[in-house]
Amino acid sequence: MRRWSELAERVAATTRTSEKTALLADYFRGLTADELPIAAVFLTGRPFPESDQRATGLGWSAIARSVAALAGVPRTALGEAYDRWSDLGRAVEDVLEAAGHHPDPAASPSLPEVAATYAGIETASGPARKAALLGALLARCDPLTAKYVVKVLGGELRIGLREGLVEAAIARAFDRPLEAVKWAGMLAGDIGETAVLARDDRLHDAALALFHPIKFMLASPAEDADEIIARLGAPVWVEDKYDGIRAQLHKSGREVRLYSRDLHDVSGQFPEVVESAVDLAWDGILDGEILAYKNGTVLPFQSLQARLGRKAPSAAIREEVPVIFVAFDVLGVGGGGETAVDPLLRVPLDERRARLTTLDLPLADEGGRFALSHLVSVDSADGLEAAFADARGRRNEGLMVKDPRSGYSPGRRGLGWLKMKKALATIDCVVVGVEVGHGKRHGVLSDYTFAVRDEERGRLVNIGKAYSGLTDAEIAEMTRWFEAHTLQQFGRYRQVEPTVVVEVAFDVIVRSNRHQSGFSLR
């Protein structure tokens, strides 16, 4: 793990993509069979592959307990270091370096040992046991290695590395076509497995499989109708952009599972969809959106939130907030085995949609829990604007505009899909609080809390927070102003003079108990 950490430092030190790729490729070539998949996964900033649903469940308190015990300092020392760096790994390194923690290099853990500890933390019961396992691992790590053990554990690597660069390095290391590596990665959902397949010249073995979710195809944002028509050409297919939960439905026989955008199994949260799909005379994979839907009407996302995070919703909540699955794509059809599936990812969208319409889904207006996405063909910018207004009239966010000839690219924002959204309105707010940012913005005040005036009570009340919308130069300028106009400071947060007014664009305003105003902007 020490060698991996040194590599991460070198990757973080350069801004040149070609140099990052070369560093990774050289490193991959020198790894053993058991090290390669682990190293590749860690370089994506995760303790487990993306398609792996495990989570360590280790929070700040347990990490602070481990580090404080090892360094012989109060737990508050880690918080103070974090306030300096806005980076937990860097804070751990800082605390251990100050404590003079330098164990025997011969005891430094290997990559498989670190991976095994992460797995042990995931299965351990209770924060004390989890903290003990982490503490035992960190005791063998020098400060630099400990820094990256914690970074990977928390999913916050932040070394200027995207998964696409890791794929490029794998292709270069083993002299494989980059597109073949990317395609295998899309299907496998595991960069470690992809690296092994590339090394062994078995990229062709990667296959779409039932109950092995793949990344969802994404859409690039666009606001101008003329630009959309120019980019995609006419005609384009237009679907409503729904305000729900993106989901994949996998079915084989009477087994049905639902997977969320982060590839987690959420079948238990929406049992009525599963029950409605069980008797389908069809096996395969659907892409769609789960919506709160009652009495023929789509309910706002705020209603759907009552269903989220519940492993088994009660009969009462199912009655109060029923859901449907709006299908808009079919990614594969049953291939004759329990998990085998014939992929349709490279089949044009118009052919996939034709397949979808033949599946005889139990539709919501007939007592089922399914619907097909609302779709029309449009051949002009004026037609797009009219379709956008119609979608808003149906209480949806905007439009998904698709090239009917496009394939399905898992995990990619391809040129074949665009999303057309426009802010519903803007509101003038005053900034009342600011907070130190994270990652590349750890040294500036980039997170703003804003408020509106409550005329009845004669005071400002919070209505939301924002983390984007300003350039780096603007944030740097505002940081200097806020530092000079701070009223009170509470750790990373500053209460500031309420004089800076910002215009905030939003899509939806909903009632919320999180803010003093009683409302929240989205």
Identify whether 241 is a catalytic site residue: yes
User: Read out DSSP for 56-80?
Assistant: ----HHHHHHHHHHHHTS-THHHHH
Longest CA pairwise span in the chain (Å): 71
Report DSSP state, residue 270.
-
- Identify the active-site residue in 20, 147, 241, 251: 241
Taking a C-beta distance cutoff of 8 angstroms, is the pair 453, 444 a contact?
A: no
Identify whether the C-beta of residue 359 lies closer than 8 Å to the C-beta of residue 280: yes
Indicate the SS3 state at residue 241.
Answer: strand
CA dihedral (85, 89, 94, 99) positive or negative: positive
Rg of the chain, C-alpha, whole Å: 25
> Pairing relation of β-strands 413-420 and 218-222?
parallel
Among residues 246, 251, 384, 388, the alpha carbon closest in space to that of 325 is found at 246
Are the C-beta atoms of residues 330 and 356 closer than 8 Å to each other?
yes
Cα–Cα distance, 231 to 384 (Å, whole number): 13
* Residue 238, CA atoms < 13 Å, CB-side half-sphere: 28
Q: Are 409 and 213 contacting, i.e. CB atoms less than 8 angstroms apart?
A: no
Q: For residues 52 and 44, is the Cβ–Cβ distance under 8 A?
A: no
∠ CA 282-286-287 to the nearest 5 degrees?
170
Q: Give dist(CA 84, CA 192) in Å, integer.
A: 34
Q: Give the C-alpha separation, 135 to 122, whole Å.
A: 14
Q: 3-class DSSP state for residue 501?
A: strand
Beta-bridged to residue 258, according to DSSP, are 249
State how far Cα 164 lies from the chain centre: 15
Cα→Cα distances 71→62, 90, 127, 137, 231, Å? 14, 15, 19, 13, 57
Instruction: Please say whether the beta carbons of 417 and 352 come within 8 A.
Output: no
- The DSSP H or E segment spanning 149 is helix 143-154
Neighbours of 474 (CB within 10 A): 11
| Catalytic positions, written as ranges | 241
